[in-house]
Structure 1
Amino acid sequence: MSFSFAFESSAVEWATAALFLLGLALLWRFLAPLPAAVRRLRIFTALILAGLLFKPVLSRLDSRSIRPRLSVVIDRGPSMQGKDDFDRARLKRAVDWILRHRAEIEKHAEVSLYGGAAGAHRLDWNELESLQADNAAFEPASVLSDLLSAGAPPERVWVLSDGAFENGETLAPALARLGSPVDALGVGPKRIPKSLSIAGIETPDFVFLHSRFETGVSVEAHRLEGKSVTLTLRHEGKILQKRVLQAKRPFEILRATFTLEAAALGSQDYRIAVLVEGDQDKRLRVSRGFRVEVIRQKYRIMYLAGRPSFEYSHLRAQLKGDPNHELVSFVILRNPEDVSPVPDNQLSLIPFPATEIFVKNLFQFDLFILENFAYYRFNLPAAYLENLKRFVAQGGALLIVGGENAFTKGGYRGSPLEETFPVTLLPDKDDFVTELFKPTLAAVDHPFLAVGDTRAESKALWDALPPLDGYARFSDVRPGASVLLSHPRAKTASGRPLPIVAVQEFGRGKVMLVGTDSTWRWKLAGGRDWKLSSFYARFWSRAVQYLTGSLELKKVKFSPLPERMPAREPAILSLRVFDEHFRAVPGVDVDLKVVWSRPDGTTTSPAHFEREPGVFQIELSELAEGRHRIRAIARYRGQLWGEDGVNFVWEGPRSDAPLNRRALQELSEPTRGEYRDLYRIDLQALLSSLPPVREEQAVRSRQHLWTWSGWLALAVFLLLGEWFLRRRRGYL
């Protein structure tokens, strides 16, 4: 025990005391005539008053030992349920090691215990034995951030883990904020068997049709140094690409990148297979599937018209004015039979590029439009129509717009292209009738005809349209074709209602036939009835969307998920919502409902939020092993817009997951900490890296002398003493 003496006075109080003593010195000559005893008494009193102005404090000190602050974090992620070489759970082994060495550790450090998963949870020693693994994966950056917010920053950190986590980009900033060394203690099997595993597949959720995109694959190879590892990428059972990589170290992450082209719309399934050449061990043959959603960026359209017309003028303007369309159009101004008084090389018209249109560039387009085009006039080879037929069969779209030269008279009867038509053609070339008529709805519930918000509104709009002028006659409707609009009176040669608009699928593509070239009259109708002002544009926009497959593409779509989800929480899903032009829809316009069906049959509505415009993130926690089903329903501007669902199987932790020393070294090395395997740790060497225990004087008690109540009694005593002396000496 020891004591210390100090003053707590402020600068003002110091100045007051100094002025008081200065005044006493100046008045000293007036005290000279007084007896010496009285002078001494007054000086003593003045000194006491001055000393009290300094506010003296007496402290009693005790000596104590200060141990360094040590934070011990035990990974309780799902992989810590896996077994070690002695058939013990890794989490149990880590807890037992800490408890076994508790006394020795506490001699050298002030220990704070934490269980780590998605964050750090403070533990006491009594809770340690009952510590259970969590379904959430260990996230080092979040854990380290929680250590800082828990109190005084630690001077050193121990992390007991098997390294089954991803460090990510947030780790380096978290380590910098921590500012303390981190020692990583590896918990896991001593022996690592030969094995291959697909650590990750990186690919975009959505890509545009005809665009190229990259897919990155990461493969973990254990004890395969010197071996050749083959990665094979398949699509629809066909081998697209192969990569052969060489493993050079006992543990290595092999990476390969595949460049692919989005050749078809919709969900495209791929599979990566990885194997070691010449080895039949099942652990060295793994595969995983993944899915990419292909959407359109723009519709590429070829428009070929047989002559200038109102239909060509209005339809071309409509297609060209849509930013989602990339249009190339040709109109025939002079047919081969037309006589010109000047040579061809003096004409300003370009020659008809038939080869470029029907052969060279055909497959670059999504939609091919033939409007009133007489094929026979140009003496084109039949192979050109055969190529156009193949274009449709392979997924292209074909739109045939009528006119007097469009069908039989145009030379299409008996041609390869007629096989794609939803109708059969008449043998009579005079197949076009000029008269006014109002088409009737033949398929009220077909999605293409839903030009209004409701069925009743759509029908009212169709009924309000002005009549069309002229239509083509046909022999019959092909089996499997759908008639959308029909003539109110005319019949086919077979006696069925005459199609005005009909569609059918051919191979992987679609064909639409419009038996009239007077739909431009619908556009003019908007001038007299505002309700019809946008009908023409909507009709043809939906025609393009229907033919190219976009009308059936979901406007509410989950991002593709792997076949099996790893044992990490939360599981994160992404959902996208598009408008009718496949642009992102802001969340303020979307009412989204999500239903999660668990393996045990229970359902709940998980939380979701808008991560970016049109992209919603859904997080699932407390997952159980088995199949999970997620269904999302979206309303846009008050209307039911669409829904989508995904299924996935959630896996339990891998009991054979190897000890990932590399991840643990990435955690410790930037902080000048150390990595050690738990089974061969030298505890004394580990403890020696802690800051030394230091001695410190601590204040046990403090006495503020200037607040002592006895000073008043002393003042009274001194005054009485002076009175007594003055009276005795005869000064009173």
Structure 2
Amino acid sequence: MDVSVAFSPFVPVWLVAAFAVVGLTLAGLGVVRHVRGSAFRLVAVALFAIALLNPALQREIREPLDGVVAVVVDRSQSQRTAGRLAATDRVAADLTRRLEATPGLEVRTLTVDRPPADQDGTALFGPLADLLGDVPPDRIAGAVMVTDGQVHDVPETAPFNAPLHALVVGEEDERDRRIEIVAAPRFGLVGSTQTIKVRVEDAGAAETSVPLEVRIDDEVVETRTVTVGEEVEVAAPIKHGGDNFFQFAVPSVPGELTDVNNTAVAIVEGVRENLRVLLVSGEPHAGERTWRNLLKSDASVDLVHFTILRPPEKQDGTPINELSLIAFPTRELFSQKIDEFDLIVFDRYHRRNVLPSLYFDNIAQYVLNGGAVLIAAGPDYAGPRSIYHTPLAAALPAAPSGDVIEAPFRPAVSERGARHPVTRELPGSEASPPAWSDWFRQVETIPVAGETVMTGANASPLLTLSREGEGRVAMMMSDHIWLWARGFDGGGPHVPLMRRLSHWLMKEPELEEEALRLDAGAGSLTIERQTLADGVAPVTLTTPSGETQDVTLEESAPGLWTADIADPEMGLYRATDGTLTALGHVGPANPLEARDLRSDTERLAPIAEATRGSVRRVNDVADTPRILMRTEGRAMAGSDWLGLRQSEASELVGVDRLPLFAGFLGLAFLIAAVGGTWWREGH
């Protein structure tokens, strides 16, 4: 209870001050001149000024506030070993019950089972700060953490002015063999070999060497013997674009905590060097630069472009030394260096005695061995000099009928094309007819292989995609895609179509028409199955702990079937549908949580000491210490008890006020002052 004097002036303070100054000045002059009654006048003026200020005795009525204690329960992945989780739950439940029964305490409980999406390792102090963020500092009684001690966000300074205690679940001298990724690149050029450094740790073990198994994309490639505690360099060939999975495993041993961290994964993203494209343009036409402009705009493409303006049979009398054209290096391109290109594009090219039949045979072999060819055809493909009448025909999926359709038509995505990643959901394709402009010429063909993903006039094949041997071929049976590029009648989706088409030819993994993928994030996992079929089989998913489950996929888009896995555990997942397999890793590839699973009392010791708290081991309810409330300045921990700071905060619930100059008492003082003045002046 606090008692104080408060003022509630009847008139503005400045007016009271003016009255007091004038009155006291005049009375003071009277005292100086020895005027009779001046001292009484001083007292009377002062009493009147004080009365105008309306003083009162004020008493605050307060109620004490409960202190707030936080109980943080660690249920992270490292706790899911050796029965720790059950012990943690028992200790936390008993501790919470006893704290709630303690007078003057408000208990707040926080359970942490996974790190935030942008953080690696077990984070307890960040969530603790959020839990107590609305509590005034003088109400914080302390915090108690029930954990295994593997905490990775321990601050350097005390988070509050109250004791922090840690109850560590786990035994001393635990054994845990583990493998750690010391250094691994995040990216690597496809075809290059990177180096990954690993180290095997096995504290307290008698063995000095252990076998190390190396897997690449889930296939065993090497087994070697390594020394415990020494860094080992492993060659990591980057075989394909996208994620390359490198797995390292050591055998488990009897008596170790868990074999979860006996396997480590490094994920290296394969990045292709700039893709090399050879573009050969035949006779000039209105859309000749369409393919060139698109390929030149792609920073990942190195383009070599030749336009054949003057074939050998053309004789116009121009001296050779006056020609400004560059001779077409046919031998270098189609014999010596053909394998250096990722894609060859023939844009309205027909036989003009520039490429002999031998070179077309080279191109066909180039496709069968893994290369890619795109035919952007015009009327030339239907004529007698068509490149179909060369050895290249063995790799082409469509034969010309000999007819060229010269009539307006609206390109459309076929039923199969609606499921193909090259043409699926092209902008404007959802309308009927598609919301893009007409074309006016198409070469009629007879499909002999591949998939027709777009149709044109009379529903005949317009865009055909085919796999030939290990390579790929695409045929666009019209030379009017430039109308979309020029915006004729609103244009069309030429950029996404041409870019997807060229990237499919160059085997970008995202555009595979038959694929199984695991899209793994920090705390999410999605199974994706891309197919041209009408349905898909269930997928068998293997979790990091070795458990398997059959997952039924649902169609989320034409040709795309997906399923989301709720609350996935961290680690490497495998998925298979019997034909295709996929790998995915949830969380960091080399998580802090799995590097050391032994219970630890050292990590939290400095911060506990800084807050005058304690760190001790508990493995059951019987080990839980007593709870004592302590005032500031006293010890906060003992051998069998832990202390919490007693709150001295209070809440104002009322105020009692006693005016000093109100009623008869105040009136008596004023009358006495005036009467004394009159009496003194009268004598």
Normalising by structure 2, report the TM-score. Answer: 0.60
After superposition, the C-alpha distances for 1:539-598 in whole angstroms (9 at most, x for unaligned) are: 7556436645679569xx998227xx9xxxxx457999xxxxxxxxxxxxxxxxxxxxxx
Task: State whether residues 184 and 196 of structure 2, in contact with CA within 8 Å, keep that contact through their aligned partners in structure 1.
Answer: yes
Following the alignment from structure 2 to structure 1, what is the Cα–Cα distance between the partners of residues 185 and 241?
16
Task: State whether residues 181 and 266 of structure 2, in contact with CA within 8 Å, keep that contact through their aligned partners in structure 1.
Answer: no
Following the alignment from structure 2 to structure 1, what is the Cα–Cα distance between the partners of residues 112 and 656?
46
Task: State whether residues 522 and 535 of structure 1, in contact with CA within 8 Å, keep that contact through their aligned partners in structure 2.
Answer: no
Q: Residues 637-716 of structure 1 correspond to what in structure 2 (within 5 A)? A: 644-647=562-565, 650=568, 658-661=598-601, 664=604, 676-679=615-618, 686-687=636-637, 704=658, 706-715=660-669
Q: CA deviation at 1:185?
A: 1.1
Match of 2:586 in 1: none
Q: CA deviation at 1:14?
A: 6.8
Match of 1:593 in 2: none
Q: Residues 313-332 of structure 1 correspond to what in structure 2 (within 5 A)? A: 313-320=288-295, 322-323=297-298, 326=301, 327-332=303-308
Pairing partner for 1:92 from 82, 90, 93: 90
Pairing partner for 1:504 from 442, 448, 466: 466
Task: State whether residues 453 and 464 of structure 2, in contact with CA within 8 Å, keep that contact through their aligned partners in structure 1.
Answer: yes
Matched letter for residue 303 of structure 1: L
The gaps in structure 1 that reach 5 residues or longer are 120-135, 249-253, 425-430, 489-496, 566-570, 577-624, 635-639
How many pairs does the alignment contain?
598
Following the alignment from structure 1 to structure 2, what is the Cα–Cα distance between the partners of residues 535 and 284?
49
Following the alignment from structure 2 to structure 1, what is the Cα–Cα distance between the partners of residues 439 and 384?
29
Cα pair distance change 1:287/1:693, threshold 3 Å: closer
Q: CA deviation at 1:422?
A: 1.8
Task: State whether residues 94 and 187 of structure 1, in contact with CA within 8 Å, keep that contact through their aligned partners in structure 2.
Answer: no
Match of 2:581 in 1: none
Cα pair distance change 1:202/1:559, threshold 3 Å: farther
Following the alignment from structure 1 to structure 2, what is the Cα–Cα distance between the partners of residues 483 and 47?
103
- 1:420 aligned to 2:395? yes
Match of 2:30 in 1: 27
Name the SS of the counterpart of 2:433 in structure 1.
helix
Match of 1:144 in 2: 129
The gaps in structure 2 that reach 5 residues or longer are 114-120, 529-547, 572-592, 627-633
- 1:223 aligned to 2:203? yes
Following the alignment from structure 1 to structure 2, what is the Cα–Cα distance between the partners of residues 449 and 89?
56
Q: Residues 11-410 of structure 1 correspond to what in structure 2 (within 5 A)? A: 17=20, 19-28=22-31, 45=44, 48-49=47-48, 52=51, 71-75=69-73, 77=75, 89-94=87-92, 96=94, 113-117=107-111, 139-153=124-138, 157-163=142-148, 167=152, 178=159, 180=161, 183-191=164-172, 193-196=174-177, 223=203, 230=212, 232-235=214-217, 237=219, 239=221, 246-247=228-229, 261=238, 263-264=240-241, 270=245, 272-275=247-250, 283=259, 286-287=262-263, 301-305=277-281, 307-310=282-285, 313-320=288-295, 322-323=297-298, 326=301, 327-332=303-308, 349-350=326-327, 352=329, 354-355=331-332, 360=337, 362-363=339-340, 365-366=342-343, 368-369=345-346, 371-372=349-350, 377=356, 380=359, 385-392=364-371, 396=372, 398-399=374-375, 401=377
Task: State whether residues 286 and 482 of structure 2, in contact with CA within 8 Å, keep that contact through their aligned partners in structure 1.
Answer: no
Cα pair distance change 1:86/1:525, threshold 3 Å: closer
Task: State whether residues 147 and 153 of structure 1, in contact with CA within 8 Å, keep that contact through their aligned partners in structure 2.
Answer: no
Q: CA deviation at 1:511?
A: 1.4
Task: State whether residues 358 and 388 of structure 1, in contact with CA within 8 Å, keep that contact through their aligned partners in structure 2.
Answer: no
Following the alignment from structure 1 to structure 2, what is the Cα–Cα distance between the partners of residues 240 and 368?
41
Cα pair distance change 1:366/1:233, threshold 3 Å: farther
Name the SS of the counterpart of 1:329 in structure 2.
strand
Task: State whether residues 405 and 457 of structure 2, in contact with CA within 8 Å, keep that contact through their aligned partners in structure 1.
Answer: no
Q: CA deviation at 1:235?
A: 1.5
After superposition, the C-alpha distances for 1:11-58 in whole angstroms (9 at most, x for unaligned) are: 856775465443323335899668xxxx88777655644665687666
Task: State whether residues 359 and 387 of structure 1, in contact with CA within 8 Å, keep that contact through their aligned partners in structure 2.
Answer: no
Q: CA deviation at 1:631?
A: 7.6
Cα pair distance change 1:273/1:419, threshold 3 Å: farther
What value does the CA root-mean-square deviation take over the aligned residues?
6.8
Task: State whether residues 17 and 53 of structure 1, in contact with CA within 8 Å, keep that contact through their aligned partners in structure 2.
Answer: no
Following the alignment from structure 2 to structure 1, what is the Cα–Cα distance between the partners of residues 97 and 137?
24
Q: CA deviation at 1:141?
A: 1.0
Q: CA deviation at 1:160?
A: 1.6
Cα pair distance change 1:247/1:552, threshold 3 Å: same
Task: State whether residues 236 and 270 of structure 1, in contact with CA within 8 Å, keep that contact through their aligned partners in structure 2.
Answer: yes
Q: CA deviation at 1:102?
A: 9.8
After superposition, the C-alpha distances for 1:352-394 in whole angstroms (9 at most, x for unaligned) are: 06445655463552555473356852855966642342123xx
- Percentage of pairs with the same residue: 12
After superposition, the C-alpha distances for 1:144-203 in whole angstroms (9 at most, x for unaligned) are: 1331312235677433231577645xx75xx76945476351421123543356899999
Cα pair distance change 1:354/1:672, threshold 3 Å: farther
Following the alignment from structure 2 to structure 1, what is the Cα–Cα distance between the partners of residues 607 and 235?
30
Task: State whether residues 183 and 675 of structure 1, in contact with CA within 8 Å, keep that contact through their aligned partners in structure 2.
Answer: yes
Following the alignment from structure 2 to structure 1, what is the Cα–Cα distance between the partners of residues 444 and 505?
22
Task: State whether residues 246 and 265 of structure 2, in contact with CA within 8 Å, keep that contact through their aligned partners in structure 1.
Answer: yes
Match of 2:502 in 1: 544
Matched letter for residue 560 of structure 1: D
Following the alignment from structure 1 to structure 2, what is the Cα–Cα distance between the partners of residues 56 and 405?
108
Task: State whether residues 336 and 378 of structure 1, in contact with CA within 8 Å, keep that contact through their aligned partners in structure 2.
Answer: no
Q: CA deviation at 1:221?
A: 5.3
Name the SS of the counterpart of 1:143 in structure 2.
helix
Following the alignment from structure 2 to structure 1, what is the Cα–Cα distance between the partners of residues 645 and 462?
93
Match of 1:595 in 2: none
Name the SS of the counterpart of 2:356 in structure 1.
helix
Cα pair distance change 1:349/1:229, threshold 3 Å: same
Name the SS of the counterpart of 2:132 in structure 1.
helix
Name the SS of the counterpart of 1:26 in structure 2.
helix
Cα pair distance change 1:311/1:629, threshold 3 Å: same
Q: CA deviation at 1:630?
A: 9.7
Following the alignment from structure 1 to structure 2, what is the Cα–Cα distance between the partners of residues 24 and 156?
59
Q: CA deviation at 1:72?
A: 4.3
Match of 1:466 in 2: 440
Matched letter for residue 147 of structure 1: L
Matched letter for residue 91 of structure 1: D
Query: Greater shift after overlay, 283-292 or 184-193?
Result: 283-292
- 1:718 aligned to 2:676? no
Matched letter for residue 223 of structure 1: A
Q: Residues 538-687 of structure 1 correspond to what in structure 2 (within 5 A)? A: 540=498, 543-544=501-502, 547-548=505-506, 552=511, 560-561=519-520, 571=523, 644-647=562-565, 650=568, 658-661=598-601, 664=604, 676-679=615-618, 686-687=636-637
Following the alignment from structure 1 to structure 2, what is the Cα–Cα distance between the partners of residues 16 and 212?
96
Normalising by structure 1, report the TM-score. Answer: 0.57
Match of 2:433 in 1: 457
Following the alignment from structure 2 to structure 1, what is the Cα–Cα distance between the partners of residues 457 and 4?
112
Name the SS of the counterpart of 1:117 in structure 2.
strand
Q: CA deviation at 1:59?
A: 8.1
Following the alignment from structure 1 to structure 2, what is the Cα–Cα distance between the partners of residues 558 and 369?
33
Following the alignment from structure 1 to structure 2, what is the Cα–Cα distance between the partners of residues 449 and 381?
29
Cα pair distance change 1:407/1:483, threshold 3 Å: farther
Name the SS of the counterpart of 1:457 in structure 2.
coil
Task: State whether residues 190 and 240 of structure 2, in contact with CA within 8 Å, keep that contact through their aligned partners in structure 1.
Answer: yes
